[in-house]
Amino acid sequence: MKKHLIAAAVAAAIAAPAMAQNVTLYGTLDAGVASLSNVGASNTTGKSAQVFTDGAMSSSVWGLRGSEDLGGGLRATFNAESDLSINNGTTASSGFWRRAANIGLAGGFGALELGVKMNPVIATNAALMTTAGNNVSTMQSAALGFSDFFTRNAITYTSPNMSGLTVQVQHGMSNTSAAGGDMTAFSALYASGPVEIRVAGQERNGPRNDSGAHYGSVQPAAATGSTNDKSTYVAGVKATLGAWQVAAAMYQNEYNTAVGGAKTKRESTGLSASYQLNSATRLGVARMESEGSTLTHAQARYVLSKRTQMYVAYGQADNKGTTAYWPYASNTNGFTGGTAAPIFADGTPGAGGALNAKQRGYGIGVIHSF
């Protein structure tokens, strides 16, 4: 009897460290088909295309996250997340774990994480959409030139909820003496009942090295190429009113394409609304405007199960001479970055939209999460 008790005690002691750690495999897959108008070198030729879409609404990703109870209310955490390109089975060429690769400590003081993590400005941009989707949030950040999605060499602190207020601060350091440069970003959320107020900003200084061990985003800003100094601010409010959800946001991005060069400023406003038609169906519409250019987007989602839903979506870009929206986020040609606008087999680009052009896209797709 004593031998059995001793054996059980030893087995429990060996298993205890493993039981204290919680590891989760998770992911999202989004695929569909779409029809796009006015594609090609000038985006005004009248040429149309039917394409396979990957990540039009939700980026296709998979990852691991976990935590270990250290006692006294303290936890060790980690997160690693990668792209999963459904159209060709590859991942991002800019890094296997480009979306997240961090470890940290969390407790009553909040959370402190070290390593690659999403930029607070990008997270705030997405959170200010009533029906989230790359067809709006990614296209908005690309058109204004602040698509600095993930920060390398980052130290990120997230505060606990302080009577409705949560603050996040992030600093990305340069790990190269040759290029220099760093970034600092923040976000703040105040939630009270059905209302959320969000603000975020970033300051990027000095040259950026997207392919090396540097502070910069792992994906350049589509509107400006390899930018240097940059100041970005986002602010907005979102409210839930019964079956309705409404949001309004303001954006400003100021940047230059050479250190010390002339700066360009882009300002924008965004309005969105959604309606829960029934337990399975949600309708949404959004409109973004920047210096006369507009992006209008509508979608409907139908829940098939707890983890699977279908959607139909329509986007229309009416661009003037300053800001260029692309109407439909899609990964159509094997570009391994997630939500890239297409470049077609004949070599004609459609990425980023075109100035002084009208374009539209509509499609259908399915999203599954695990």
Query: pLDDT class for 262, splitting at 50, 70, 90?
Result: confident
Average the pLDDT over 56-83 and give the result. 96
Query: pLDDT class for 222, splitting at 50, 70, 90?
Result: very low
> Is the per-residue pLDDT at 26 higher than 90?
yes
- As given in the structure block, the two tokens for residue 210 are 């997207």
> Is the per-residue pLDDT at 110 higher than 70?
yes
**CA 105 and chain centroid, separation:** 24
- Please give the mean pLDDT across all residues of the chain: 83
> Is the per-residue pLDDT at 233 higher than 60?
yes
Residue with tokens 């940047």: 255
Are the C-beta atoms of 158 and 111 separated by less than 8 Å?
A: yes
- Give the helix ranges, DSSP H, for 100-241: 120-127, 137-144
What is the pLDDT, as a whole number, of residue 207? 59
Average the pLDDT over 288-305 and give the result. 96
CA–CA gap between residue 336 and residue 171 (Å, rounded): 27
> Is the per-residue pLDDT at 31 higher than 90?
yes
The CA-atom distances, in angstroms, between 66 and each of 81, 228, 368 are 12, 35, 21
- For 10-24, how does the pLDDT look when each residue is reduced to its tens digit (9 = 90+)? 444 444 454 457 999
More confident residue, 204 or 159: 159
11: left (phi over 0), alpha (psi -120 to 50) or beta: alpha
Identify the burial level of 210 via C-beta atoms within 10 angstroms of its C-beta, where 0-12 means exposed, 13-18 middle and 19 or more buried.
middle
Are the C-beta atoms of 85 and 94 separated by less than 8 Å?
A: no
Average the pLDDT over 167-193 and give the result. 86
More confident residue, 27 or 9: 27
Secondary structure E strands in 214-307: 230-241, 244-255, 264-276, 281-290, 293-303
Query: pLDDT class for 335, splitting at 50, 70, 90?
Result: very low
- As given in the structure block, the two tokens for residue 220 are 């350049």
314: left (phi over 0), alpha (psi -120 to 50) or beta: beta
Give the Cβ contact number of residue 329 at 10 Å. 29
Q: In the beta sheet, which residues pair with residue 119?
A: none
231 contacts: CB under 8 Å, gap ≥ 6: 201, 202, 203, 204, 252, 253, 254, 255
What is the pLDDT, as a whole number, of residue 107? 97
> Is the per-residue pLDDT at 277 higher than 70?
yes
Q: What is the pTM of this model?
A: 0.85
More confident residue, 153 or 196: 196
Are the C-beta atoms of 54 and 336 separated by less than 8 Å?
A: no
What is the pLDDT, as a whole number, of residue 339? 37
What is the pLDDT, as a whole number, of residue 36? 85
CA–CA gap between residue 321 and residue 123 (Å, rounded): 28
What is the pLDDT, as a whole number, of residue 126? 96
What is the pLDDT, as a whole number, of residue 351? 46
Average the pLDDT over 79-108 and give the result. 89
Residue with tokens 């067809």: 135
